[in-house]
Structure 1
Amino acid sequence: MLVIGKDGIAIVVHKNNPVKNLTQQQIFDIFTGKVNNWSEVGGNNAPIFVQTRESGSGTLGAFVELALDKIQKGQQVIATATPHTSNPAVKQAVAKEVNAIGFLSFGHVDNSINTLTVNGIEATVENALNKKYPIVQPLVICTKGRPSGVTAKLIDFFTSPTGKKIIDSEDFISLP
């Protein structure tokens, strides 16, 4: 198994939401439905509207594994969450609803929404690469045995400057 990049997943809220940081436990509690009002995590007295990716999404799978299963195995995002077919759709929903919360791959974050810190750690490429930010999954290539031939050439390509540019252009994080 060879790691060729990373996928950082940011927790995002509306620009006017006063919440700036959540602990991993608070994220778990919100996305599993234990906490359903922003006042319970330092925000306004308002309902929380959870936005998520659709079933089968890689971003959803990684989020469940990295943010929910770390607290309690077998958890899923609350059934009343609004599912979306893409990261841009989640971002748009959060940007439109002041009480919304969602998650996005880092590459989709922009100034239309706010990114929360998690346990006081900013969702940045640097923090993803140095393993400080907790919601990051590796992008891997798995081979049976030592890679050779076309497989080795593919791995060489993804670790080349051109391959790294492609990884970055697909909203992931290439390795230094």
Structure 2
Amino acid sequence: MLNLFLLALGLASINFLGSSQAWAQAQKPSESERIKIILKGSSTLYPLAKIIGYNFSKQRSVIVNVNGGGSSFGIEHALHSGHHIGMISRDLRESEMNRGLVVHPIAVDGIAIIINKENPLRNLTLLQIKKILTGKITSWEELGWDSGAQIRLSGPSSDHGTHVAFKKLSHVGGPLTKSFRGFISHRRVMKEVNSFPNAIAWVPLGHYLTYSHRGAQGKGRFDNITALKIEGIAPTRENLSNKSYHYRRTLSLLAKEKSPPIIDELIKYFRNRDSQDVIKQSGFLPY
């Protein structure tokens, strides 16, 4: 009799546990029921936002999709109703202000001016950079490298915040030299410099640190590039922090003034301790 009782008790326990698990599973929202948050914009912020967005989605049972495209796309994206956040790596233009958007700074990044290691130069002045951008200096010989090579200038395309920020910090108001080559991907810019000894370009400092001496392995790594000092100051996180390095800008999220609570929650999550660790590991400084 006792054995029958214990057997019945065991079967009842199994049925209870099974029912409890089934009930708990039923309480979880299905894929179609989960809130979907879409972040779009800055390619500089894209890798960082992918990690933080994924971490947030695990804790809050929401779907977080992250897409690049450039800061200009991020601004237009943030204006959509619903669960949309824009990502930007430049200041808003005057025409983009007063449109009901709130800027939420989350990180500080530098812009690295990179060259091929075959180029012996290791420092340029701000005036020299401006003259390269505007086509007033076109050969490396004018800068002290007697190679006979013309300067091969490239960088992010004009839709990117890094393009706009770099022009502004270089005090270039007009168009760049006609020989400029613009690329959608920062990695494509680095590949260009890695391949051509006479190349020069600019990329986010965090991306340079990730894909050069400190970062990716094998095909993802660019061993033939180095970053120039500007006015004798190296592009390091220390010099970003003490504000001695000139090419310094803020990375931000954009959301409408009246956003759903989950949007505010995600923006706050970007500033918590764990997310700040991700920001640092990505080569940036927490804001």
Give the TM-score of the pair, scaled to structure 2: 0.54
1:162 aligns with 2:282: no
How many residues align? The count is 171
2:193 equivalent to 1:94: yes
> Partner of 2:170: helix, strand, or coil?
helix
Where do 5+ consecutive residues of structure 2 fail to align?
1-102, 214-222
CA-to-aligned-CA distance 1:118-157 (integer Å, 9 cap, x gap): 0100001111122111111112346788x99545533431
* % identical aligned pairs: 32
More helix by share: 2
TM-score, L = length of structure 1? 0.84
CA distance in 1, matches of 2:238, 2:278: 19
Confirm whether residue 29 of structure 1 aligns to residue 131 of structure 2: yes
Higher alpha-carbon deviation: 16-25 or 79-88? 79-88
1:107 is paired with a residue whose SS is: helix
Counterparts of 1:10-159 in structure 2, within 5 Å, are 10-44=112-146, 45-69=148-172, 74-109=173-208, 110-111=212-213, 112=223, 113-141=225-253, 149-150=261-262, 152-159=264-271
User: Structure 2 vs 1, CA of residues 150 and 174 (structure 1 numbering), >3 Å: closer, same or farther?
Assistant: farther
Q: Which structure is higher in RCO with an 8 Å CA cutoff and minimum separation 6?
A: 1
Q: Distance in 2 between matches of 1:13 and 1:39?
A: 15
Counterpart CA distance in 2 for 1:108 and 1:2 is 21
Measured in 1, the distance between the counterparts of 2:169 and 2:143 equals 20
Are positions 1:7 and 2:85 aligned together? Answer: no
Q: Which deviations, in whole Å up to 9, do the C-alpha atoms of 1:14-50 show, x marking residues without a partner?
A: 0110110000110111111110011111222321010
**Which one is further off, 47-56 or 156-165?**
156-165
Alignment RMSD (CA, Å):
2.5
Classify the secondary structure of the residue corresponding to 1:120.
coil
More displaced 10-residue stretch of structure 1: 92-101 or 35-44: 35-44
Q: 2:274 & 2:175 partners in 1: Cα distance?
A: 37
1:47-81 CA distances to partner (integer Å, 9 max, x unpaired)?
Answer: 10101211201211111111234xxxx22321211
Q: In 2, distance between residues paired with 1:18 and 1:31? A: 20
Name the amino acid aligned to 2:114: V
Q: Which runs of 5+ in 1 are unaligned?
A: none
Asked if residue 175 in structure 1 is aligned to residue 278 in structure 2, the reply is no
Contact 2:269/2:275 (8 A) holds in 1? yes
Contact 1:129 1:175 in 2 (8 A): no
CA distance in structure 2 between the aligned counterparts of 1:130 and 1:159, rounded to whole angstroms: 21
Give 1 or 2 for the bigger CA radius of gyration: 2
Counterpart AA for 1:58: G
